[in-house]
Structure 1
Amino acid sequence: MDHGMVCVTGASGFLASWLIKRLLLSGYHVIGTVRDPGNEAKLAHLWNLQGAKERLRLVKAELTEEGSFDDAIMGCAGVFHMASPVLGQFTDPREEIVNPAVNGTLNVLRSCKKNPSLRRVVLTSSSSTVRVKDNLDPQIPLDESSWSSVELCEKLKIWYVVSKTMAEKAAWEFCNKNGINLVTVIPSFVVGPSLPPTLCSTASDILGLLQGETERFYWHGRMGYVHIDDVALCHILVYEHEKAQGRYLCSSTVVDNDELVSILSTRYPTLPVPKRFEQHKRPYYEFNTTKIKSLGLNFKSIEEMFEDCITSLVAQGHLSIP
């Protein structure tokens, strides 16, 4: 079945690659934007996808370059905006993370505005845009109406959350003003197989945990987790469903670090998974995912997502299980 043409920004990324896999399997023609279409080593995993030779085109576009998404987006019925500034060491967080995330999103949306064929834009946000706030009530699960406090995030110097929150808010403001049909997907911590050969920060954090590191996961405290395939399916679902609107939380299970390592050490007793973590004084929360479930999405379990992730890490040579 031919579903028409859609654009996926940041096509070579962990989540975007998996979404493209799912879109191709569903019969879509996909235009993926990348920074260097000639980088064969970085893009080989995309060309190896079923249907890629017939229905995938990769084109150059830069978040920071005004108008560079025009050609990729023109003629597409849908745009999945997933590209985001790469996290790393930084000296000026506003200039290196926050502004590129906001301005890059607006750059993509300005190209969307020029496209008369556009039906809907799906923006990938983050559950961090929902859960960082002073007044969390542990008795009331967080839903799509909740927004993180930018002021609190700035105070805590969690610049990634600032960037994701401000980028999503800027997207809503722009799309409401310009009559663009926008839906946002708000995934929690994404776990699953990695198609790109180089691990992203998310997959690297999981690999570290499985190898006995505690430092990166220590900061998670309590966290929602979701299978990468469920996130990809969620994007397609909210794109295709006529009545989909607003924000959609996408998360399977919320657990504390100690619960997570208990599950992992039981299933993988030969791996040096930490036994316990030093406790944060973090507020308890749950997510209310009724909205996306009402469209028909059923989430895979935390055991399934880590099993698929670990199988992939072993297959790619990143991990060995004694």
Structure 2
Amino acid sequence: MENQSAVMIARRVCVVGASGRVGSWLVKKLLERGHIVHATIRNIHDPEKAGLVKRLQGADSRLHLFEADLFHPHQIDQAIHGCEFVFLVAFPTKPFNSDAERDAAAEGVLAILQSVLSTCERSGTVKRLIYTGSVVTTSPLDEQGLFSRDLIDESCWTKPDAQIPYPSDFAKFYTSIKTASEELLASYGVKEGELEVVILDCGVVGGDALVDSVFGVRSLLSPLIENTALLANFVFLQNLLHSVPLVHLDDACEAHLFCMDVPLTSGSGRFLCASDYPSVGEIMAYYRRKYPELIALEPEVCGSNIKGGSSKLTDMGFEYKYSMEQILDESIKFARKLGLIKDR
């Protein structure tokens, strides 16, 4: 029997990147609400990834799978056809070995996003594109690497030339290209006026998941899984944002759904999506208090934290359900289930 909370009017929506941590959970919630879902994955013949979404409640009658790879953006044209809303969850990135490859990768990402935007606009049916962004694009650091503000909100944009101690070349590239991508999307919505573009800048997404992966939350758990490279990423978030913004997977997906339904007064919008903004020190204090037997690494704590200053989502009626403690507890429970964290 289908969920009694299903919407009265079924919408046809597209989820680009349906086999990942956020994408699969989003498909689950859309189906539970009675929507018709066009879901893209790279290989529809993969029994694990395709089977995951095929087994979801309502999938037999309202899920349509499309094989598509963002590196070949024309492949998603058919998936988008006839949809009112498009959730762009996947992000096209590839490793690079030289400056030339890095620059080519950056140009490729922007070209792909432009292609997706053009496809949505040409469709004649897509009303709104909802993009899964990242808080790494919202740093309040100035060009000298100094904090110019004491609150983070949607007006903050990470400066491309800021003197920031990146833990790796890829972290620098990822931060830069995510910021450039969001700037492209934000300007597109304002200029074109017809297609509404929403950007959800999500914090570290913790909690349970349908897929057997803790990708995206590994840095948060790095002190417990004894990985120094990931620990450097954990500290990097603190250095970049002066906090580690957190959001539970379910809250993040609910925010995506909220942004599908809520009227936008400006025709486009950028929203911070995080329920809490603890510092590395506050997270470590919680680990020491509740999970002292799990701690394997101690990060260097970098001063006080800057709290999120945005209430843009909540002012529009959105409500977060999960606290910092719940996010950390469920992330650890999930990682234990996967065997990534073990009692010492």
Contact 1:63 1:107 in 2 (8 A): no
Distance of 1:89 and 1:321 partners within structure 2: 37
Spell out, residue by residue over 1:241-288, the C-alpha distance to the aligned partner (whole angstroms, 9 max, x if none): 1236411111122222222111123122331253x422447x842212
Task: Please give the secondary structure, in 2, of the residue aligned with 1:125.
Answer: strand
1:219 equivalent to 2:242? Answer no
Task: Please give the secondary structure, in 2, of the residue aligned with 1:255.
Answer: coil
Counterpart of 2:280? 257
Distance of 1:231 and 1:100 partners within structure 2: 27
**Structure 1 residue 215: Cα displacement:** 3.7
Q: Map of 1:266-281 to 2, 5 A cutoff?
A: 266-274=289-297, 276-280=298-302
**Structure 1 residue 148: Cα displacement:** 1.3
Contact 1:265 1:273 in 2 (8 A): no
**Structure 1 residue 33: Cα displacement:** 1.2
**Pair 316,53 (structure 1): closer, same or farther in 2 beyond 3 Å:** farther
**Structure 1 residue 79: Cα displacement:** 0.4
Contact 1:214 1:277 in 2 (8 A): no
Counterpart of 2:314? 293
Contact 1:153 1:159 in 2 (8 A): no
Counterpart of 1:186? 201
Alignment match of 1:8 (pick from 7, 15, 28): 15
**Pair 172,101 (structure 1): closer, same or farther in 2 beyond 3 Å:** same
Spell out, residue by residue over 1:85-124, the C-alpha distance to the aligned partner (whole angstroms, 9 max, x if none): 246564332223x233322211211110111111211111
**Pair 34,159 (structure 1): closer, same or farther in 2 beyond 3 Å:** same
Distance of 1:100 and 1:321 partners within structure 2: 44
Alignment match of 2:189 (pick from 154, 175, 181): 175
Counterpart of 2:126? 118
**Pair 143,313 (structure 1): closer, same or farther in 2 beyond 3 Å:** same
Counterpart of 1:304? 326
**Pair 241,30 (structure 1): closer, same or farther in 2 beyond 3 Å:** same
Spell out, residue by residue over 1:267-314, the C-alpha distance to the aligned partner (whole angstroms, 9 max, x if none): 22331253x422447x84221231101122232111111222222223
Counterpart amino acid of residue 255 in structure 2: C
**Pair 112,82 (structure 1): closer, same or farther in 2 beyond 3 Å:** same
Q: Map of 1:108-147 to 2, 5 A cutoff?
A: 108-131=116-139, 133-134=141-142, 136-139=147-150, 141-147=151-157
Give the aligned CA root-mean-square deviation in angstroms: 2.4
Query: Structure 2: which 5+ runs fail to align?
Result: 1-6
**Pair 86,306 (structure 1): closer, same or farther in 2 beyond 3 Å:** farther
- TM-score in terms of structure 2 length: 0.84
Alignment match of 1:37 (pick from 40, 44, 47): 44
Task: Please give the secondary structure, in 1, of the residue aligned with 2:138.
Answer: helix
Identity among equivalent positions (%) equals 26
**Structure 1 residue 223: Cα displacement:** 1.6
Counterpart amino acid of residue 328 in structure 2: F
